[in-house]
Structure 1
Amino acid sequence: MSPSPLSVDLLIEARWVVPVEPHGVVLDDHAVIVNGGEIVAIVPADEARSLYAPRERVTLAEHALIPGLVNAHTHNPMTLLRGLADDLPLMTWLQEHIWPAEGRVMGPDFIRDGVELAVAEMIRGGTTCANENYFFPDVIAATYRRMGFRAVVGLPVIDFPTPWAKTADEYFQRAVEVHDALRDEPLLSTAFAPHAPYTVSDENFERLRVLAEQLDIPIHLHTHETAQEVDEAVAKDGMRPFERLKKLGLVNERLIAVHMTQLTDGEIAACAAAGVSVVHCPESNLKLASGFCPAEKLRRAGVNLCIGTDGCASNNDLDMFGEMRTAALLAKAVAGDAAAFDAASALRAATLNGARAIGLGERVGSIEPGKRADLAAVRLDALETQPLYHVASQLVYATGRHQVSDVWIDGERKLADTRLVGVDIDAIRDKARGWRQRIAAEDPA
């Protein structure tokens, strides 16, 4: 007598399952079994039908089921600044437009509405987790919690006053308060988010290092973003920013170094040896003419290379499919090697590598038993993705985010047949238009 089928919450049958781990594997006609928000098994679909009695069954006949994408660096409240000051170099963009606009509008309402818009956009594009870096992390966290989105919430530190904090002591006090408040949140964790070496003092970096060790959290910062940044650091400090960070004891497995367009071979080797994660933001770097991250050199050296969109003010979207494609193509051009940063590596950088960088590699980033069910289904039967020879290549080089049909976060359905679940799109759109009227009226351009 055969055993009775096991009762589970969810069974997802997919034409292809792309688990990411093992690397480069594609499973034909498999099912992912989810119970209590956890992936409990991945088995051939015909076996799953006899082994499990799901409360919900989803059949994805022409889809690839992938891990939810991990946006390893973003400033999601800045979604409300999308397109405000385009076609400008970094420092002009920052000093003459973005920082003044933020000074006028930054506050809890701006933060909440920007994150709402960003979460809706990310879910529609298959992103299920973001590494956030912005002010008012308490409001950011509350918005992510309400929308059921997984995130690492950055705890900002910068050497000048902002609406969030006025002094170094206040930045650190408020950071610890937010961290403590989020200790038991299942979808939320924290990282310190010092802005950049040129806006944070040695004293504050030393405080960060000690506190990050005590709290066991990462340090997430922009560095080596432009040649100008590096040159000015050498003139001021007599050393490159990376050397200064190393001298301060910050070059270790906690460091999430964003952009890294200006690197020597020695710095790449040091990143690999120390366990540093590097976040490649190719479209933002291209748009601001910041430089080219040597992605393939980093990957070959063994550095944990991730992908991020940066904020919508410098991208101008949160499209991780577009970012994967750009990252892969740019890496080939920079390396002078058509085989560089292949499709499977790009997909891994946008999923498991990002999860590992932010301390969630044991929970999400791949489709494996024991991990949380953060999943995205991508239709591949569109004319634009036909004919289909290699699934991973099609996902990276031909697929658009509009082909994402279904998304789950922690086993909860967030997108059902391209429709957001529990999100008022009209209200989000109306709020975005209201912010546009206010911000555009006051911008000097």
Structure 2
Amino acid sequence: MTADTITAADTRINARWLIPMEPFGVVLEHQAVILQGSRIADVLPQSEADQKFRTRETINLDQHVVLPGLINLHGHTAMSLFRGMADDLPLMTWLNDHIWPAEGRFVSEPFVLDGTRLAMAEMLRTGTTTFSDMYFFPEVTAQVAHDVGMRAQICFPLLDNPTVWGSGPEDYLRKGADLIALWQHDDYIMPAIGPHAPYTVSDQPLTAAVKLAEETGAALQIHLHETAFEVDEAVKATGKRPVFRMAELGVLGPNSQYVHMTQIDDSDLEHLARAGGHIVHCPESNLKLASGFCPVQKLIDSNINVTIGTDGAASNNDLDLFGELKTAAMVAKVVAGDAAAVSAHTALKMATINGARALGRDHELGSLVPGKLADLIAVDLSDPFLQPVYDPASHLVYSNHGRAVSHSWIHGVPQVQDGRLTRIDVPDLMLRVSDWRNKILS
């Protein structure tokens, strides 16, 4: 091979193991990932990379597994400042008596700015490269994520009642439309519509939300069938299960995301399969609030796209998506009565290519394929608690903790290097978090 056939590139990452996600279920060994600008230029055996590429930087990860960055498809990032504040309570008690009053007192633009930074630091450090947020002051969250260089779907909140961010549905929708117009074509920020839940949003605002989604192409994310109480109350009030009402209003559709879905009967499954859309499974939050169990394997068997989210740190209490994958896989086996349900590779798929598909960006994200955006992570498997290594995919789901993430790139830019965040000032952030704790305690 001559010098003329050697290609120059920015970064070469030598991986002991590589899980590309496309094709599914594959673990490759001794691979090189070549990054050029914001894209993956190539994925090939290291011996071939020696002959084909010359790079400015080479990173040797000889005890690591490299895979796509994880996609956390549901959370309330700023609520990280409420982590551990009101634990061991039922959902409605937790909301009505603790969370909503605390939000009324403390949530503001500075609160959201610092809470978002705290959540992003945790997510980046544990392997998440893209997150979805549904919270107040979404314009602040969008700007913080953009400034750090983290991908985010930003769902503006929509409720019937006034909050710290808006006076009512018309105000939310007006501000939300402005948010969509501002960020719609950004590389990092994906503006979306976030009606809170069927029991907090009436028919007219939901219909307006559907119209806005159709006009702009923005995704729509809603908490749906989170608890048996929600479903029972809806049936008592309207004679309809919430999924049926959402179908009537046009909320169900291929560009919609339904969070939780712990209560699913055959009629719900039929509506979901017919309308399309994506389930966002939040197993640890569902368990902690005793909300119920999402029948993940049954949904997968019905060809419904299932993704994964942590929910907020106030109800989880962490944003480590690897921990969420373990819980998702373990619970799914019990719910299905089948130890083969939701395999390790399937769990990883939920957090990568399935999440990208729900965002409408599976052509750019979710797998390590030449031409896709360079969003990827490396996990160090050298620690004794991860030895011996027979199956790296199994280790990532069943043995791993997010703290084993050593490197992270988003858009080709290093976000974590040797376990250290590169773009968030952690000492300054910790001082701000301490100030918020003192305010909330007082």
Interval containing the TM-score (normalised by the shorter chain): over 0.9
Distance 2:357 2:144 in 1: 24
Which residue does 2:176 correspond to in 1?
Answer: 175
Distance 2:415 2:346 in 1: 27
Distance 1:113 1:430 in 2: 10
The count of corresponding residues between Structure 1 and Structure 2 is 441
Deviation readout 1:224-243 (Å, 9 max, x if unpaired): 00000000001111101000
Which residue does 2:225 correspond to in 1?
Answer: 224
**Which runs of structure 2 are paired with 1:259-408 in the superposition (5 Å)?**
259-408=260-409
| Cα pair 1:224 1:260 within 8 Å, conserved | yes
> Could you tell which deviates more after superposition, 342-351 or 183-192?
183-192
> Could you tell which deviates more after superposition, 280-289 or 295-304?
295-304
Q: Aligned letter for 1:260?
A: M
Distance 2:115 2:63 in 1: 34
| Cα pair 1:131 1:358 within 8 Å, conserved | no
Which residue does 2:203 correspond to in 1?
Answer: 202
Deviation readout 1:4-46 (Å, 9 max, x if unpaired): 4211111111011101111101111011111111012110011
Distance 1:256 1:237 in 2: 23
> Could you tell which deviates more after superposition, 307-316 or 49-58?
49-58
Partner secondary structure for residue 197 of structure 1: coil
Partner secondary structure for residue 397 of structure 2: helix
Distance 1:363 1:352 in 2: 10
| Cα pair 2:180 2:218 within 8 Å, conserved | no
Deviation readout 1:313-361 (Å, 9 max, x if unpaired): 0000001000000000000011111000000000000111111112222
Q: Aligned letter for 2:287?
A: L
Which residue does 1:5 correspond to in 2?
Answer: 6
Which residue does 2:81 correspond to in 1?
Answer: 80
| Cα pair 2:34 2:42 within 8 Å, conserved | yes
* Deviation of 1:108 (Å): 0.4
Distance 1:80 1:62 in 2: 35
Partner secondary structure for residue 74 of structure 1: coil
Distance 1:265 1:43 in 2: 45
Which 5+ residue runs of structure 2 have no aligned equivalent?
none
Which residue does 1:20 correspond to in 2?
Answer: 21
Partner secondary structure for residue 293 of structure 2: coil
Distance 1:270 1:234 in 2: 16
Distance 1:42 1:116 in 2: 32
Q: Aligned letter for 1:74?
A: G
**Which runs of structure 2 are paired with 1:135-154 in the superposition (5 Å)?**
135-154=136-155
Partner secondary structure for residue 237 of structure 2: helix
Q: Aligned letter for 2:360?
A: G
> Could you tell which deviates more after superposition, 377-386 or 182-191?
182-191
| Cα pair 2:243 2:271 within 8 Å, conserved | no
Which residue does 1:255 correspond to in 2?
Answer: 256
* Deviation of 1:191 (Å): 1.1
Partner secondary structure for residue 74 of structure 2: strand
Partner secondary structure for residue 388 of structure 2: coil
Distance 2:242 2:268 in 1: 11
Partner secondary structure for residue 95 of structure 1: helix
Deviation readout 1:386-420 (Å, 9 max, x if unpaired): 11111111110011111100000010000000011
Distance 2:185 2:252 in 1: 28
Distance 1:384 1:426 in 2: 29
Which residue does 2:434 correspond to in 1?
Answer: 433
Distance 2:270 2:302 in 1: 7
Partner secondary structure for residue 279 of structure 1: strand
Which residue does 2:419 correspond to in 1?
Answer: 418
> Could you tell which deviates more after superposition, 176-185 or 345-354?
176-185
| Cα pair 2:244 2:271 within 8 Å, conserved | no
Deviation readout 1:89-119 (Å, 9 max, x if unpaired): 0000000000000000111000000000011
* Deviation of 1:145 (Å): 1.0
Q: Aligned letter for 2:178?
A: E
Calculate percent identity across the aligned residue pairs: 47
Deviation readout 1:242-300 (Å, 9 max, x if unpaired): 00000111211011000000001232233223222001100000000000001111111
* Deviation of 1:167 (Å): 2.3
| Cα pair 1:19 1:368 within 8 Å, conserved | yes
* Deviation of 1:433 (Å): 1.1
Deviation readout 1:166-201 (Å, 9 max, x if unpaired): 022111110011111113321111110000000011
Distance 2:305 2:41 in 1: 27
| Cα pair 2:192 2:221 within 8 Å, conserved | yes
Which residue does 2:117 correspond to in 1?
Answer: 116
Which consecutive aligned stretches of 4+ in structure 1 deviate over 3 angstroms post-superposition?
Answer: none
Q: Aligned letter for 1:119?
A: M
* Deviation of 1:422 (Å): 2.7
Q: CA separation of 1:251/1:184 partners in 2, compared to 1, >3 Å: closer, same or farther?
A: closer
| Cα pair 2:158 2:195 within 8 Å, conserved | yes
> Could you tell which deviates more after superposition, 404-413 or 421-430?
421-430
Distance 1:299 1:183 in 2: 30
Q: Aligned letter for 2:46?
A: A
Which residue does 1:102 correspond to in 2?
Answer: 103
> Could you tell which deviates more after superposition, 226-235 or 264-273?
264-273
* Deviation of 1:380 (Å): 0.9
| Cα pair 1:269 1:301 within 8 Å, conserved | no
Partner secondary structure for residue 73 of structure 1: coil
Distance 1:196 1:180 in 2: 24
Distance 1:278 1:337 in 2: 21
Deviation readout 1:345-384 (Å, 9 max, x if unpaired): 0000011111111222221111111110110100112111
Distance 1:145 1:286 in 2: 32
| Cα pair 1:84 1:440 within 8 Å, conserved | no
